[in-house]
Chain A
Amino acid sequence: MIVDIMNMLFNGTLTGAVYALIAMGYSLVYGVGGIMNLSHGAYFMLTGYLLLWMLQTPFFIGLEWLTVVFALIIITVIGGLTFLLLVKPLQDSHVAVVIVTFGLAFLLEQVVLISPSGTEVWSIGQLRLFQGYTMVFGYPIVHQYVFLIVMSIVIVLLFALFINKSKLGKSIRAVSQDREAAGLMGINASRILLYTVMISALLAGLAAFLYLPGASLDGPSMGWGYLLNSFAVVILGGMGSLIGSVAGAFIVGYTISFTNVFVPYGPSWAHLVPIIIIIVILLIRPQGLFGKKELR
């Protein structure tokens, strides 16, 4: 029994830590610009494959850690380009932004699929920092995942500090609260949005770097599943709320792992849980647990 509880708690924390990183950036972009970026899941997927491709290149033998730097830079740039080339000109139309970012996610998926390693599943275990596990109450705790959870918490804290204390962070908050007023104060809202999208892509990339070496690349369409669960997280926590997305991520994580461990035949229902959360929260409290009252 204690093992089952440990199992549920650890895996819930692990899932929550991953979704916190992915959903935080997603939620931030929505909160600041009202942009629904459907290519967010594709950033996560693409980072994994960028790492894989670079690891397969002879040039990077012995320089494995350089791949991480390159992958994160590339994904941040792609995030920036998404905003500049596709989102910014269409900002006024919800539907157009959604369709164009969907198109981008679809394109990235297809590009990966066409690439030589696109049709199989892959492990990038070379990038694991820690090996082995420790038994706690008869439950094996994998070191790599402990590293992930710790790093995720650190990143979330640093990010909160950045948003609250730094000049750029304050501008981001200002734009998210009142765009016109921020404009009057001399803040270039469009540039702030660009930075926000880049930061969100970087966070998705970081999540991929921390999580995927201990997990696997499940094929080019893996991004959609993470995107969908991020929807559940931000709906639960409230669109645009950072505390909300972190809390929401852990709630979603624990409900998934609870269903997996304790519900009979739960594993085949586990990924229905986030979707049901979306529906229920939308019907009961559409602004989410920590969201702003008004709906866009």
Chain B
Amino acid sequence: MLNLKIVKEKMNEFPSYLKSWVKTFTGSLTIFCLLILFVMPFLSANQSFTHVFLRQFSLAMIFAIFAASWDLLTGISGQISFGHAIFFGISGYICAYLIKYQSFPIWISIIISTVVAVFFGLAIGFPLLRLKGPYLALGTLAMSLILLKLFLMGSLADWLFGSEGISALPGLAATPVIEYFILFIFMILTFVILIQISKSKFGTILKSIRDDEVGSDASGINTTKYKIYAFMLSSFFAGLAGGFYALYIGAVNPTGNFGTVLSFFAILMASLGGLATISGAALGAFFFIFLEYALIEIGVVEIGNLAIDFGLYKFAIFAVILIVIIRFAEHGILKPLLERLKDLWDLLLGR
């Protein structure tokens, strides 16, 4: 299956491919954004910057990885998942358990927990694969709720740590800046891998399954095999994000790591950015996290006698923005945004 020759050729092509990509509009814009993200931590040593603002970036990166993994499964392969928190949560729990009770080093725990998440992807993906569309969505949702409820039960607390979970974990790194760079590197890796996958032959097959499953089956593609691969790949990255999240928080608990709300976070972020674009997930995650940050920062605004507490109303405002964006930009904000910027850029260059 793996043809070394082709891989070698691709490797040789790689630098020139990169060069031509940088020259394109999206390429240069991406490099520009990454540069901004790269210099970000060096801008200020102020604690209110590094320990509050940068930490929000780290959180956004974790969710970007998580949302991108959902996008691979749902956007690219068309397998709607409403229970992505399964992989996110199980990986976080395994990671926390290994560190706290088996004294494993952090990185080994993350690797093991990610592998366990892949096994969960296999175990859950396999039986549910014959379901389609909303049925698969409900099946995955039900799976995540079963796990959530089992972990919540006080009577199972001896085995599953109960509603209070595992706490007092060490941080991912000594300082928020190092944590930021670790997550930054992993986010870039995730996105490079996922985007390459979506552009590769494998990705094309997944897209063909999404668009016409019967057709691709008829043309000799083993759809079951590819759907399982998609499930496993997706759960790998979701698991990675889950492990990082557990260490970012320093604790795991059932609602905080298995909650349906986390599955919906992934859905919202990826679809805000734009389904099946992968990089839209990052845009959605950053938009989502920083909208909340901004609303809390704005706080109470007094207009005449009327005091509006944006911090208190943040979820209502969220909901309105979400509805408006989905209603008027069904395919996310990434593509329209890029087009506008490109028009502006073309004008600038006088084209």
Listed in ascending order, the chain A residues whose CB lies under 8 Å from chain B are 36, 85-86, 89-90, 93-96, 98-100, 102-104, 106-107, 110-111, 113-114, 224, 228, 231, 235, 239, 265, 268, 271-272, 275-276, 278-279, 282-283, 286, 295-296
Contact = CB atoms under 8 A, between A and B. Distances in A.
Nearest to B315: A110
Contact of A93 (B153, B264, B320, B330): B330
A295 B133 CA distance: 9
B141 to A, nearest CB: 8
B268 A99 contact: yes
Interface residues of B, number: 41
Contacts of B154: 268
Given A96-B326, A106-B315, 15 more contacts: A94-B134, A95-B267, A95-B271, A95-B275, A99-B326, A102-B264, A107-B323, A110-B315, A114-B316, A275-B142, A275-B146, A279-B142, A279-B143, A282-B139, A283-B128
Contacts of A95: 74, 80, 267, 271, 275
5 contacts: A94-B80, A95-B267, A106-B319, A268-B153, A296-B134
B146 A295 contact: no
Given A94-B134, A278-B139, A279-B146, A107 B319 contact: yes
B149 A271 contact: yes
Given A279-B139, A282-B138, A100 B146 contact: no
Interface in B315-351: 315-316, 318-320, 322-323, 326-327, 330
Given A268-B155, A278-B138, A279-B142, A111 B316 contact: yes
B319 A103 contact: yes
B316 A282 contact: no
A176 to B, nearest CB: 16
Contacts of B142: 231, 275-276, 278-279, 282
Interface in B18-46: none
Q: Which of B74, B131, B142, B316 has the most C-beta atoms of chain A within 10 angstroms of its own C-beta?
A: B142
B201 interface: no
B15 interface: no
B132 interface: yes
B5 interface: no
Contacts of B139: 278-279, 282
Nearest to B312: A114
Interface string B204-246: 0000000000000000000000000000000000000000000
B107 interface: no
A283 B127 contact: yes
A17 B257 CA distance: 35
A209 B307 CA distance: 35
A286 B145 contact: no
B271 A99 contact: yes
Contacts of B131: 282, 286, 295
Given A265-B155, A282-B138, A296 B133 contact: yes
Contacts of B323: 86, 100, 103-104, 107
A90 B153 contact: no
B330 A90 contact: yes
Contacts of B271: 95-96, 99
Interface string B54-86: 000000000000000000001000001000000
B142 to A, nearest CB: 4
Contact of B316 (A107, A228, A235, A239): A107
Contact of A89 (B80, B130, B327): B327
Given A114-B313, A282-B128, A100 B135 contact: no
Contact of B327 (A86, A235, A296): A86
Given A93-B330, A95-B80, A282-B128, A295 B135 contact: yes
Nearest to B149: A272
B137 interface: yes
Q: Which of B74, B131, B318, B327 has the most C-beta atoms of chain A within 10 angstroms of its own C-beta?
A: B327
A239 B131 CA distance: 14
Contacts of B133: 94, 295-296
